Amino acid sequence: MPTNQVPSAGLNDGTPFGTLYERAVERAAGPEQNSLVAEVRTAVEFGMCDPKDSVEMACTAAETAEALVTALSSPWSLYTPQDAATIASALFVQLQQSADALQTLRRTVGQIAERGETEVPAPAGPGQRANLGDALEALRSVSEQIHGLVARHASTTVRALYTAPSSAPVPADEHETVVAVAALLAKQHDGTVTLNRHHPDEEDHPAPDGGFACACDVTILSADDEYNFHRGGDSQWTVARASEYVRTHNGSAVFDTQEALSTTLKTAHPQQLTDDILRLMTTDRDTPPIVYGELHAVPDDRAVPPEQP
C-alpha cells in the first residue's frame, strides 16, 4: 500500500497561499461534480442586484462556515496534513474575502447616505451609544486587521501544513481500496475474510471513462451472518448481508437491502471503511432479533407480524 510522503513539488516559497484553494475549487466546480460550489457560481452568474440577494448570500456564507465546523468534527474529515493545507488555504481566502466584504459593506452604506436616505454622524464621544459613524469606522478597522493577519500568517501556515510528512495509506484506485480493506479486516476481525478478485488478470486496469474498473469484493464471516463489502452501482461503498439475499424471477440471487458506508470516495482511507464495516457488524450482533411465532427476523421497518387467526 503506497503512503504519502512530504510533497516534493507544487508549493514553494513564492506560491500564493490561495493556490491550493484555487486548484480544489476548480475540481469541485467542474461540470461533472454538481457541487455546492457550482450552485453558488450559478447564482452569481444569474445576477445579484437587490437587498434580498445580498442577505441570502451573506446567510449562505454564514451557513457554509458553520457547516465546515461540522464537517471537520468527523474523525475522518481529513486524511493528511496536505488535506489540512487545502482547507487552511480556503479559509484564509475566505477571511480575505470577508475583509473585502466588510469594506464593501462600508462603502455601500456610504452610497445610501449619498442618496440622502440616511445620515452619517460624527463618531460618538466617550460614554455615548455607538452610532452609524462608529459602525462604519468599525467595519473599516476590522477589515484592515483581518487583512493584516492574513498577510502575516497565511502563506507560512499553508506551506507548513503542505510540507508536513504523512504516512497515511493512500490507495491509487478503488481496487487498491478493496484490497487494503480486506487486509485490515483480516487483522481486526475474528472471522474468516476472503478477498474475491474479479479481474481478467491479477492487475487492475482502470477504466478511462471513470466507470467500473474493479468488481472485486470482500466476504466477511461472522457467527451470525455472512457479509459482503463492495462498491455498488450507485458509486457507494456498501455492505450487504447474506441473510437478506432474495431470489429474482429468473432464479438469480440479489441483495434485498444494502448498507451504504460513510464515504463514497473511490480512494477512501481503508481504516475508515473498515471501521464502518466492523461497527455495522457489531450493531447487528448486539441488536436482538424479532420473533413472531415461527418467524425469526432482524429488526426492519418492513417486518409485519403474522395475522392472528
Q: Quote the domain boundaries for residue 179.
A: 174-297
Q: What is the dihedral of CA 93, 95, 96, 97, to 10 degrees?
A: 90
* Cβ neighbours for 215, distance < 8 A, ≥ 6 positions apart: 198, 199, 230
In a domain, 4, yes or no: no
In a domain, 223, yes or no: yes
* Cβ neighbours for 296, distance < 8 A, ≥ 6 positions apart: 289, 290
In a domain, 91, yes or no: yes
- Quick one: 50 and 122 in the same domain? yes
pLDDT value of residue 278: 97
In sequence order, the β-bridge partners of residue 120 are none
**Of 307 and 256, more confident:** 256
Instruction: Tell me the average pLDDT across 4-16.
Output: 66
pLDDT value of residue 71: 95
In sequence order, the β-bridge partners of residue 295 are 292
Q: pLDDT (tens digit, 9 = 90+) per residue, 171-226?
A: 999 999 999 999 999 999 999 999 999 865 545 445 544 445 688 999 999 988 99
- Quick one: 126 and 195 in the same domain? no
- Quick one: 29 and 77 in the same domain? yes
Q: Could you tell me which of 35, 74, 77, 43 has the C-alpha nearest to residue 60?
A: 43
What is the tally of structural domains in the chain?
2
Predicted structure pTM score = 0.80
In a domain, 217, yes or no: yes
In a domain, 243, yes or no: yes
**Of 276 and 205, more confident:** 276
pLDDT value of residue 36: 81
pLDDT value of residue 298: 46
Q: How confident is the model at residue 85 (pLDDT cuts 50, 70, 90)?
A: very high
Is 249's pLDDT higher than 80?
no
- Quick one: 141 and 247 in the same domain? no
In a domain, 7, yes or no: no
End-of-domain residue from the set 108, 132, 162: 162
pLDDT value of residue 3: 47
- Quick one: 144 and 215 in the same domain? no
Instruction: Tell me the average pLDDT across 51-60.
Output: 94
* Cβ neighbours for 76, distance < 8 A, ≥ 6 positions apart: 262, 263, 269, 272
